[in-house]
Chains A and B, each alone.
Chain A
Amino acid sequence: MKRTVIITNAQILDPASGLDVKGSLLVEDGRVTDIAEGASPGAPEGAEVEDARGKHLFAGLVDMRVFTGEPGHEYRETLSSAAKAAAAGGVTSFVAMPDTSPVIDDGSLVDFIARRAEQQAIVRVVPSAAITKGLAGTELTEFGLLKEAGAQLLTDGRESIQSSAVLRSAFTYAANFDLPIAHLPRDAALAGTGVMNEGLFATTLGLPAIPLEAESIPLTRDLQLAALTGVKYHAAQISCADAVKLMAAALQQSENVSAGVSINNLTLNELDVGSYRTFFKLSPPLRAEADRLAMVEGLKTGAVSAIHSDHDPQDVEVKRQPFAEAASGAIGLETLFAAALRLVHAGLLPLETIIRALTSGPADILGIDAGTLRKGAKADFILADLDYPWVNDESRIVSRSQNTTFEGARFTGKVMATYVGGKRVFADAEGESSK
Chain B
Amino acid sequence: MAGSEPSSTPEGDAQAPAVFPPFLHRHLLGISQLNQYEIVNLLDRADAMVPISRQPRKVHPTLTGKTQINLFFESSTRTQSSFEIAGKRLGAQVTNMSVKTSSVNKGETLIDTAATLNAMRPDVIVVRHSAAGAVELLSQKVECSVVNAGDGAHEHPTQGLLDALTIRRAKGRLAGLTVAICGDIANSRVARSNLLLLGAMQVRTRVVAPRSLLPAGIENLCTEVCITMEDGLRDADVVMMLRLQKERAALAITPSSREYYRFYGLDAEKLAYAKPDAMVMHPGPMNRGVEIDPAIADGPQSVINDQVEMGVAVRMAVLDALLAESEQAA
On A, residues with C-beta under 8 Å from B are 198-209, 211, 275-276, 317-318, 320-326
Expressed in whole angstroms, the Cα–Cα distance for A203 and B108 within the complex equals 26
> 6 shortest A-B CB distances, which residue pairs?
A200-B217, A321-B107, A206-B154, A276-B133, A322-B131, A322-B134
Expressed in whole angstroms, the Cα–Cα distance for A318 and B107 within the complex equals 8
Which residues of B (136-155) have their CB < 8 Å from a CB of A?
136-137, 151-155
Contact mask for chain B residues 205-249; partner A; CB cutoff 8 A; 1 contact, 0 none: 000000000011110110000000000000000000000000000
Expressed in whole angstroms, the Cα–Cα distance for A321 and B154 within the complex equals 16
- Please state if A324 and B131 are interface contacts (CB–CB under 8 Å): yes
- Please state if A321 and B110 are interface contacts (CB–CB under 8 Å): yes
CB-based nearest B residue for A320: B111
From A209, A211, A318, A324, give the contact of B152 (CB < 8 A): A324
Question: With a CB–CB cut-off of 8 A, which chain B residues contact A203?
Answer: 215-218, 221
Question: With a CB–CB cut-off of 8 A, which chain B residues contact A321?
Answer: 106-108, 110-111, 137
Closest beta carbon of chain B to A190's beta carbon, Å = 12
- Please state if A322 and B216 are interface contacts (CB–CB under 8 Å): no
Residue B282 is within 8 A (CB to CB) of chain A in the complex = no
- Please state if A323 and B132 are interface contacts (CB–CB under 8 Å): yes
Expressed in whole angstroms, the Cα–Cα distance for A317 and B105 within the complex equals 10
Residue B189 is within 8 A (CB to CB) of chain A in the complex = yes
Closest beta carbon of chain A to B29's beta carbon, Å = 10
- Please state if A207 and B217 are interface contacts (CB–CB under 8 Å): no
Closest beta carbon of chain B to A281's beta carbon, Å = 11
Q: Beyond A202-B215, A206-B192, A208-B153: 15 further Cβ-contacts under 8 Å?
A: A199-B216, A200-B220, A202-B216, A203-B217, A205-B132, A205-B154, A206-B154, A207-B132, A207-B133, A320-B137, A321-B108, A321-B110, A322-B133, A322-B134, A322-B137
Question: With a CB–CB cut-off of 8 A, which chain B residues contact A322?
Answer: 106-107, 110, 129, 131-134, 137, 152
Contact mask for chain B residues 261-293; partner A; CB cutoff 8 A; 1 contact, 0 none: 000000000000000000000000000000000
Question: With a CB–CB cut-off of 8 A, which chain B residues contact A326?
Answer: 107
Question: With a CB–CB cut-off of 8 A, which chain B residues contact A276?
Answer: 132-133, 136-137
- Please state if B155 and A206 are interface contacts (CB–CB under 8 Å): yes
- Please state if A324 and B217 are interface contacts (CB–CB under 8 Å): no
Expressed in whole angstroms, the Cα–Cα distance for A274 and B233 within the complex equals 35
CB-based nearest A residue for B214: A203
Decide: A200 near B133, CB < 8 A? Known: A206-B151, A321-B110: no
Closest beta carbon of chain B to A201's beta carbon, Å = 8
Question: With a CB–CB cut-off of 8 A, which chain B residues contact A205?
Answer: 132-133, 154
- Please state if A198 and B216 are interface contacts (CB–CB under 8 Å): yes
On B, residues with C-beta under 8 Å from A are 32, 106-108, 110-111, 129, 131-134, 136-137, 151-155, 189, 192, 215-218, 220-221
Question: With a CB–CB cut-off of 8 A, which chain B residues contact A320?
Answer: 107, 111, 137
**Among B136, B151, B216: residue with most chain A CB under 10 A:** B216
Closest beta carbon of chain B to A324's beta carbon, Å = 5
- Please state if B136 and A275 are interface contacts (CB–CB under 8 Å): yes
Expressed in whole angstroms, the Cα–Cα distance for A178 and B162 within the complex equals 66
- Please state if B131 and A325 are interface contacts (CB–CB under 8 Å): yes
Show 5 residue pairs from A and B whose CB-CB distance is below 8 angstroms, ordered by the A residue. Answer: A199-B216, A200-B217, A203-B221, A204-B192, A205-B132
Closest beta carbon of chain A to B136's beta carbon, Å = 6
CB-based nearest A residue for B32: A204
From A199, A206, A318, give the contact of B217 (CB < 8 A): A199
Question: With a CB–CB cut-off of 8 A, which chain B residues contact A318?
Answer: 107
Question: With a CB–CB cut-off of 8 A, which chain A residues contact B108?
Answer: 317, 321
Expressed in whole angstroms, the Cα–Cα distance for A200 and B132 within the complex equals 15
Expressed in whole angstroms, the Cα–Cα distance for A275 and B134 within the complex equals 11
- Please state if B133 and A323 are interface contacts (CB–CB under 8 Å): yes
- Please state if B216 and A209 are interface contacts (CB–CB under 8 Å): yes
Expressed in whole angstroms, the Cα–Cα distance for A322 and B111 within the complex equals 10
Closest beta carbon of chain A to B132's beta carbon, Å = 4
**Among B106, B131, B134, B154: residue with most chain A CB under 10 A:** B131
Expressed in whole angstroms, the Cα–Cα distance for A208 and B153 within the complex equals 8
CB-based nearest B residue for A326: B107
Question: With a CB–CB cut-off of 8 A, which chain A residues contact B137?
Answer: 276, 320-322
Expressed in whole angstroms, the Cα–Cα distance for A37 and B132 within the complex equals 59
Closest beta carbon of chain A to B201's beta carbon, Å = 18
Closest beta carbon of chain A to B223's beta carbon, Å = 11
Expressed in whole angstroms, the Cα–Cα distance for A317 and B110 within the complex equals 11
Question: With a CB–CB cut-off of 8 A, which chain A residues contact B131?
Answer: 322-325
CB-based nearest A residue for B154: A206
CB-based nearest B residue for A327: B107
Decide: A200 near B154, CB < 8 A? Known: A321-B137, A322-B110, A325-B131: no
Decide: A206 near B218, CB < 8 A? Known: A275-B136, A276-B133: no
CB-based nearest B residue for A202: B216
Decide: A324 near B221, CB < 8 A? Known: A204-B192, A206-B153: no
Question: With a CB–CB cut-off of 8 A, which chain B residues contact A275?
Answer: 133, 136
**Among B111, B133, B152: residue with most chain A CB under 10 A:** B133
Expressed in whole angstroms, the Cα–Cα distance for A283 and B259 within the complex equals 37
Expressed in whole angstroms, the Cα–Cα distance for A203 and B155 within the complex equals 11
CB-based nearest B residue for A276: B133
Question: With a CB–CB cut-off of 8 A, which chain B residues contact A198?
Answer: 216
Expressed in whole angstroms, the Cα–Cα distance for A326 and B137 within the complex equals 12
- Please state if A200 and B189 are interface contacts (CB–CB under 8 Å): no
Expressed in whole angstroms, the Cα–Cα distance for A276 and B155 within the complex equals 13
Closest beta carbon of chain B to A276's beta carbon, Å = 3
Closest beta carbon of chain A to B224's beta carbon, Å = 16
